[in-house]
Amino acid sequence: MTRRGSVHERGTTGPQDAQLEGERSEREQAAGPALTVEAVTVRFAGVTALDGVSFAVAPAAIHAVIGPNGAGKSTMFNVVSGAYRPVSGSVWFRGTDLTRRRPHEIAGLGVARTFQNIALLAGETVEENLMLGRHHLTRTGFVTAALRLPTAAGREERAHRARVREIAAFVGLGDKLGAAAGELSYGDQKRVEIARALCVEPDLLLLDEPAAGMNAHETAVMAHLVRDIRDALQIPVLLVEHDMGLVMGIADRVTVLDFGRRIADGTPAAVQRDPEVQRAYLGTGEESENS
Ligand code: ADP
Ligand code: MG
């Protein structure tokens, strides 16, 4: 019996796995957080988008950053991925200071991201979109690879294509590799984006509103996928999300932002009960039919 619904094949889970997970979590506790955000402040002409925000993401944890519109979620995401620089505070990933690094350097350190708005090559196949995610893993890139001995280049490319097929199957796109990305359903396109991020073999995955614009069914499938990624790859996932419902079911820990300030940080159950969180969400009218 599996512990959860599935969108794809996965390894079996049994007592042995439970024991392995137990050992792993002991090791991880000893190792400390994978990602640490310390007193980060970001300002845009007149707006304090983030005001001294701190939180820590444990290894192999799904950590959600939630909050109403304008709370500073995307800004936080952009600070971690290097698109924005904070005026003060710092971001550490496995002992490395990310704060003043450029996006490509942060990507090079194993931090992969998706975008809130889909950014795929619409006319290219799913397979080619995913192969782009492999590019930095090739020793010299596919272009120069083709100039080397044909056999060696061919071997390297075949290995990458095999891994791409594996990842596509994992996210539930095994039968869509030949389809043009732009012709897929919205939910499938979101999955291609996540698959592309996985193709870089990341050590930290950043997802910005992966379920935005999805219906209830697609959202549930996405929630399963995020959980499967954590379980199968044992990497931390930082999930920025507007929809409380999605994160409550899958997050190990939740940081709540409102107007750039951290108003709560804890388990999903604890933040859900928090009066200030309830107030913040009631104000937006989305968690209550009366407001
Ligand atoms: P969220 O993702 O939680 O909806 P954002 O991080 O996008 O919130 O925005 C937080 C605040 O910062 C908002 O007031 C927004 O208008 C402002 N903001 C975000 N990005 C920029 C930017 N590039 N320039 C100016 N203001 C911005
Ligand atoms: Mg946003």
Report the range of poorest mean pLDDT among 7-11, 178-182, 208-212, 281-285. Answer: 7-11
CATH code of 139's domain: 3.40.50.300
Q: What SS3 class is residue 163? A: helix
- The protein residue whose alpha carbon is closest to atom 26 in ligand 1 is 44
Q: Same domain for 184 and 207?
A: no
Q: How many CB atoms lie within 10 A of CB 215?
A: 10
Q: Same domain for 91 and 234?
A: yes
Total domain count, the chain: 2
Q: Same domain for 106 and 206?
A: yes
Whether the CB-CB separation of 237 and 205 falls below 8 Å is answered with: yes
- Ligand 1 neighbour 261 (Cβ under 6 A): no
Q: How far is the CA of 115 from the centre of ligand 2 (A)?
A: 10
In a domain, 8, yes or no: no
Q: Same domain for 135 and 210?
A: no
Structure confidence at residue 94 (pLDDT): 93
Q: What is the pLDDT of residues 173-232, one digit of tens each?
A: 999 999 999 999 989 999 999 999 999 999 999 998 898 888 889 999 999 999 999 999
115 or 20, which is more confident:
115
- Ligand 1 neighbour 71 (Cβ under 6 A): yes
Please name the residues in contact with 107: beta carbons below 8 A apart, sequence gap of 6 or more.
Answer: 81, 113, 136, 200
- The protein residue whose alpha carbon is closest to atom 13 in ligand 1 is 70
Query: CA distances (Å), 90 to each of 54, 73, 258, in order?
Result: 9, 16, 20
Domain range for 177 is 117-201
Rounded to two decimals, the pTM is 0.83
Q: Same domain for 38 and 160?
A: no
Q: Same domain for 22 and 92?
A: yes
Q: What is the pLDDT of residues 53-72, one digit of tens each?
A: 999 999 999 999 999 989 99
Structure confidence at residue 9 (pLDDT): 36
CA dist., res. 34 & res. 56, Å (int): 8
1 or 74, which is more confident:
74
Structure confidence at residue 138 (pLDDT): 64
Phi–psi pair at 109, nearest 5 degrees: -85, 5
Which pair of structure tokens corresponds to residue 158? Answer: 């075949």
